Structure 1
Amino acid sequence: MNISRFLWDAAANSQRGLPVLSFPAAQKLGVDIEQLVKTAGLQARAMEVIARETDILAAVSLMDLSVEAEAFGAKVNFSKNEIPAIVGQLVSYEEEARALQIPSLDAGRARVCVEGVRQAKGLIDKKPLLAGIIGPFSLAGRLMDVTESMYICYDEPDTVHIVLEKATEYLIQYGTAMKEAGADGILMAEPLTGILNPEMAAEFSVPYVKRIIDALQDREFGIVYHNCGGSVPRMLDEIFSQNAVAYHFGNAVRMEEILAAAPADVLCMGNVDPASQFAQGTPESVYAATRELIEKCGKYRNFIPSSGCDIPAHSKWENIEAFFKALKD
């Protein structure tokens, strides 16, 4: 499938949306989050149930941003009710960065996620499937500790680049496996870049993201880039230079301002608040927020309505249904 053409055709119809919707499927399946992230068959069923029971444009695999860091050896904290989280610091100085080994796809749960995508493609025949992976700087930040990574960028930039080189090589391998498993594209989450300034983003994220896109993207397979940081409006030129098929933005920015600044041939998605609306809101408030988003952004032909980020696992299904009802109405 030509995912770029598919998404542009969808953008012409504001009744269709592509929220980042995966973990709430656990409610439908009657399983906990730890079971879901560790079992390929459950992940496949999660994608299928969302594709079947909602009007989502494409199925999206789990946005579990611990998978890649775990493969490198980072410690993961699993929970029955929350998505996995990386704890501790694997790399803190240059010698540790140089010693860091690029893992095989057999390390950690990468093969589980790839197999989940493979099985899901056998269950979903009417919608494309986007495989979720982390972005290179966000992966490096989890290996170096998110807070400490900012200091390392200033004090030891060479260390950061060493980690980024290895993260990028691994992500190309992982993305290739997703592609071979049948995914139609990738949703790459690079949220940590959103706290950088444009100069730092141009050094520590953009060239590595672009290398991954250049390695994986072709006529039939595309990368959707996600960045939910508040500094995004100041780095749009850098972001759009990456040549992704589409760009997904969080609710920390005004979507109408992003669209006003974006070239007409750049496809943008966003950005109903996943926390205050999908997780904590009511069907009425989600409906109103979605309608407001469409009223402000629906005039742009390069816009697809979405959530601002990954929808939390405990979000009420009535709220999710209200999002799609607002689009339909």
Structure 2
Amino acid sequence: MSHDRLLRALRREPVDVTPVWLMRQAGRYLPEYRALREKAGSFMDLCQNPELACEVTLQPLRRFELDGAILFSDILTIPEAMGLGLHFIPGEGPNFHHPVRTPEDIAKLSMPDMEDSLGYVPAAVRLIRRELDGKTPLIGFAGSPWTLATYMVEGGPSKTYQHIKALMYNAPEALHQLMDLLARSVAAYLNAQIAAGAQAVQIFDTWGGVLTPSAYQEFSLTYMQRIVEQLQPAPDGSTVPVILFTKGGGPWLESMAATGCHALGLDWTINIDEARERVGDKVALQGNLDPAMLYARPEIIRHHVGDVLQRFGDHPGHVFNLGHGVTPQVNPDHVAALVDAVHELSAR
């Protein structure tokens, strides 16, 4: 790699400046993305076309001096490949025609074939790696078993998590069966991305924070740890760094750091200096500017970037990111201000 500060930071090695990439750095806030999506026809058409997924992945790198590219895809590709009928409702988000609500529904599920049903993802990874030509590391990703199950059981986004929590309390054995299936599927999916060339991977546990501490350990973290343990080296034999990100996971950082992952993604509800004090030098830390900060003026963004950098301090193992993804209404010039501020202020 001619530009590997992201990978070095994930390994807690010294870097010249703090690396930065952003969750949802490719997406609806970019006019070039909106134009391509309109041309493609739908979001899933973009995801399932390797050439278009490659183009979307590269779009933000042409605008900003980012230190990592992240594969353009969706966390729900695995349940979509299981035949649950994924579709997107405007103003509401992802939904499934066939939600999984009962132990009988769960018993009918099986692992998707990684080549036949999901082969477009590693195909996109190979194409992106070729286009990046060693200039920028590529991050692969997947949703956590708990987060995937939440969408599969609820049938779409939820504010109450009525169906999956009822399943968790009334039929825990069935939910464990679903979690086991999803953990094996996610591990195989990430290994396919690694074999195709992903140089780091992130597990997105978007809804882990809605669980009680004991339920988080039993139904989310346990299965993420199983995934970490099943991940394979890169084709050249090198270790591929694994980032765990639980939105709302601040109470459980020590347990997360003990899974064998290499880095923890932090949301904006915890100060990064507190997180570093709690996990010590076990893992790198990624984060954690409030995504809403990108609505502020560039000079305000710069000030708060400096605050995050100062809180982390002069230690190895920091990857700058938001506490969650870039939102569609953000001005791209504000993203540029953030990226430039990270590099300029951390260089000092």
2:318 corresponds to: 303
How much does 1:158 deviate? 0.7
How much does 1:328 deviate? 2.5
Aligned length: 323
How many angstroms apart in 2 are the aligned matches of 1:78 and 1:16? 33
| Residue 121 of structure 1 pairs with residue 129 of structure 2 | yes
Q: Which amino acid in 2 is paired with 1:316?
A: N
8 Å Cα contact 2:12-2:318 kept in structure 1: no
SS of residue matched to 2:320: strand
Residues 123-162 of structure 1 mapped to structure 2, 5 A cutoff? 123-124=131-132, 125-145=134-154, 147=161, 148-162=163-177
Note the alpha carbon deviations across 1:125-144, whole angstroms, 9 max, x for none. 21211112111111111211
Percent identity (aligned): 18
1:7 corresponds to: 10
How many angstroms apart in 2 are the aligned matches of 1:199 and 1:72? 29
Note the alpha carbon deviations across 1:38-67, whole angstroms, 9 max, x for none. 422121122233334422221111252222
Q: Which amino acid in 2 is paired with 1:102?
A: M
8 Å Cα contact 1:251-1:308 kept in structure 2: yes
How many angstroms apart in 2 are the aligned matches of 1:285 and 1:73? 46
SS of residue matched to 1:271: coil
8 Å Cα contact 2:125-2:198 kept in structure 1: yes
Q: Which amino acid in 2 is paired with 1:93?
A: T
2:47 corresponds to: 37
Q: Which amino acid in 1 is paired with 2:240?
A: F
Given the superposition, is the C-alpha separation of residues 297 and 257 from structure 1 closer, same or farther in structure 2, using an over 3 Å criterion? same
1:97 corresponds to: 106
- Among 239, 255, 279, the alignment partner of 1:220 is 239
Given the superposition, is the C-alpha separation of residues 195 and 173 from structure 1 closer, same or farther in structure 2, using an over 3 Å criterion? same
How many angstroms apart in 2 are the aligned matches of 1:82 and 1:48? 26
Residues 273-292 of structure 1 mapped to structure 2, 5 A cutoff? 273-274=290-291, 276-278=292-294, 280-292=295-307
Note the alpha carbon deviations across 1:251-290, whole angstroms, 9 max, x for none. 233323212211223111111122x123x33433332322
Given the superposition, is the C-alpha separation of residues 10 and 285 from structure 1 closer, same or farther in structure 2, using an over 3 Å criterion? farther
Given the superposition, is the C-alpha separation of residues 249 and 88 from structure 1 closer, same or farther in structure 2, using an over 3 Å criterion? farther
TM-score under structure 2 length normalisation:
0.83
How much does 1:73 deviate? 2.3
Unpaired runs of 5+ residues, structure 2, are none
| Residue 17 of structure 1 pairs with residue 20 of structure 2 | yes
Given the superposition, is the C-alpha separation of residues 101 and 92 from structure 1 closer, same or farther in structure 2, using an over 3 Å criterion? same
2:72 corresponds to: 62
8 Å Cα contact 1:12-1:301 kept in structure 2: yes
How much does 1:314 deviate? 4.4
Note the alpha carbon deviations across 1:145-168, whole angstroms, 9 max, x for none. 151212222221111101011111
Unpaired runs of 5+ residues, structure 1, are none
How many angstroms apart in 2 are the aligned matches of 1:78 and 1:136? 21
Given the superposition, is the C-alpha separation of residues 184 and 25 from structure 1 closer, same or farther in structure 2, using an over 3 Å criterion? farther
1:262 corresponds to: 279
8 Å Cα contact 1:228-1:252 kept in structure 2: no
How much does 1:9 deviate? 5.7
1:185 corresponds to: 200
8 Å Cα contact 1:25-1:49 kept in structure 2: no
Given the superposition, is the C-alpha separation of residues 14 and 31 from structure 1 closer, same or farther in structure 2, using an over 3 Å criterion? same
8 Å Cα contact 1:216-1:222 kept in structure 2: no
8 Å Cα contact 1:63-1:133 kept in structure 2: no
Q: Which amino acid in 2 is paired with 1:298?
A: G
